[in-house]
Structure 1
Amino acid sequence: MGIAIRSILPVLAAAGLLAGCATPPPRSNQAAYQAYQQQNDPLKPMNKVFYRFNNTLDTYVLKPVALGYIDVTTPGVRRHVSDFMSNMQAPAQLLYFMASGKPRDAGTTLVRFLVNSTVGIGGIFDPAATLGYRHVYTDLGLTLAGYGVPAGPYLYLPLFGPSGVRDATNIPADFVMTPTFPPPPSTGLSIFNYSSAGLNVVNTRAQLHGTISNVKATALDPYATFRSLYRQHRAAQLKTINRRDVVTPPAWYPASVRARMKHQEYGQQ
């Protein structure tokens, strides 16, 4: 993971240098100019090079590995892997929710991490959800968006895929904020970090297999479709965060009490 982080920094620097190289259509061609502005993809030539690189890597490496992984695992196993990876992200998300001024989401994240790390055996299981503390998500890019930082030009990053100038900050932040980053390096820890990172990539690719296959099979321009899907997904995540910082009544509260707490909460919004 450290190697990947170091390799992506020159790419981001190059993106900044190349931003002025894309030539927009003349303003006299109003329809083309508006489409160019809406795409917000001034680095499209470079992005498409990286898209073709990732697509080749996916076709000959990631997809076959993911299909083999699907064959030897069950949906339940893949869900437990996702739960474990989600639990690893919880400390960082706790800080992001606090920085965003979302105390209830921060509290939910803290309870989930404590419960799932212990009763849930390191996050392999999700007993916190059974107790009423369901998963809430954020990251550094969404936190910055909450402070009004614009998404910036679209980026398609080698290895990492769709992103943007703002959301690219998630890459180094997620690496530094991982619970296994602060301890002194060791062979065992390095093996765990690389193994978990690799497993996360394969598990995520397996979960997205249907969507990716459908886009590649049906879209006239898969690159543009993936760009649109990414932006829609990020917009939906931000919208969810903005409206969701609500009280989490534990499951053991009486139903009438939980209903009243929810009603009072939404009545204040």
Structure 2
Amino acid sequence: MLRPGSTTAPSTPLIAPLAAPRTARPRRPGLKAAALAGLLALPLLLPATSRAQETTAADASQPTAPAADAGGGETRTEVAEAKTAEARAAIAAAQEEDANDPLEGMNRAIFWFNEGVDTVLLRPAAKVYRTVVPDFAQTGIRNVLWNLRSPLTLANKLLQGDWDGASVATERFLINSTIGLGGLIDVAGDHGLTYEYESFDQTLAVWGVPEGFYLVLPFLGSSTLRDAVGFGVEAYGDPVSRYLSNTHDDWASYTRAGVYAVDLRAQYLDVLDDMKRNSVDYYATMRSLYRQRQNNYIRNGKVDPDQFPSIPDYDSK
């Protein structure tokens, strides 16, 4: 039987049968036989020992592979970190140049003043407007406001040399002012004559006038030096506003401006609330979005490759 935990057969019994003769017991090998066996095996052991010593010496003479790999890994890591730092510096420099906000301290103060006015007055009015006025009525009001701006859009299209755009603006104004019940219904838009926003700021940009530094205007919000000039020109030259002023209907001009502000604020209630909650720097976020929007208007929705920062080009090595 095998002993518990053993995988070999049991050894020979310690007690031999008593009847076994003494001559039957096996003889143990003598010292002479052991010495003779050792001499015969010595030539076989010497080559193996020599090869083992040569292998050990050769391994000791070569550099350790893990150390070389570790050194190379540290070098590649340092190079990668240097490239990353340079790329971040390039992006930061491009963003700083894009901000162009030398009056940031004053702009931030005006920005938060406007935010206070918005919190106390404009945002509550926009919430009531969106809750009380049905969606279809809001759409109709918005259509009327855009239709009243059509003469300005037409003038800017002509000043920009956009004859096709001027033709579309003219058709839209005539169709919506008549068939569309004074612009209440966007009949022209339903027939493929889509509205395109145009301002004198965009016209100045087409003429090559630089936008200038960033500004925040009281009650009006984000702007630039060029945009502020354009706003002043439009406020003075708007045919609808001038007509209302000449007829002493100032209340109509104020009502138009107020309804426009409330309707526009109502469109962005949720978006602005979400941005304010999640932005690390709400002022910088609004400044960036304003510039993106203006760039989109000027290019009529086409992507400007120059708006993206230049990042150093590295190879994969």
Q: Which residue of 1 aligns with 2:200?
A: 140
Q: 1:208, 1:30 → 2: CA distance?
A: 33
Q: 1:31, 1:82 → 2: CA distance?
A: 39
**Does the 8 Å contact 1:85/1:200 carry over to 2?**
yes
What CA deviation, in whole Å up to 9, does each residue of 1:100-137 have, x standing for no partner? 01000000000101111111121111111122211122
Does structure 1 residue 50 correspond to structure 2 residue 128? Answer: no
Q: Which moved more, 1:141-150 or 1:179-188?
A: 179-188
The structure with the largest alpha-carbon Rg is: 2
Q: TM-score, normalised by structure 1?
A: 0.74
Change (3 A) 1:227 1:80: same
Q: RMSD between aligned alpha carbons?
A: 2.2
Consecutive unaligned residues of structure 1, counting only runs of 5 or more, are 1-28, 244-269
Q: Which residue of 2 aligns with 1:246?
A: none
Q: Which residue of 1 aligns with 2:210?
A: 150
> What SS is found at the alignment partner of 1:240?
coil
Task: Name segments (4+ residues, structure 1) moved above 4 Å.
Answer: 29-35
Per-residue deviation, 1:194: 1.0
1:173-192 equivalent positions in 2, closer than 5 A: 173-183=233-243, 185=245, 189-192=249-252
User: Counterpart of 1:197 in structure 2: which amino acid?
Assistant: A
Q: 2:120, 2:235 → 1: CA distance?
A: 27
Per-residue deviation, 1:31: 8.6
**Does the 8 Å contact 2:201/2:231 carry over to 1?**
no
Q: Which residue of 2 aligns with 1:266?
A: none
How many corresponding residue pairs?
Answer: 215
Change (3 A) 1:30 1:98: closer
Q: 1:186, 1:99 → 2: CA distance?
A: 25
Does structure 1 residue 206 correspond to structure 2 residue 262? Answer: no
Consecutive unaligned residues of structure 2, counting only runs of 5 or more, are 1-88, 304-317
User: Counterpart of 2:137 in structure 1: which amino acid?
Assistant: V
> What SS is found at the alignment partner of 1:166?
helix
Q: 1:221 aligns with which of 278, 281, 284?
A: 281
Q: Which residue of 1 aligns with 2:4?
A: none
**Does the 8 Å contact 2:211/2:224 carry over to 1?**
yes
Matched-pair identity in %: 33
What CA deviation, in whole Å up to 9, does each residue of 1:60-95 have, x standing for no partner? 111111101111012222221111111111111111
What CA deviation, in whole Å up to 9, does each residue of 1:19-49 have, x standing for no partner? xxxxxxxxxx999766543310001001001
Per-residue deviation, 1:205: 0.6
> What SS is found at the alignment partner of 1:183?
helix
Q: 1:105 aligns with which of 157, 165, 172?
A: 165
Change (3 A) 1:30 1:64: same
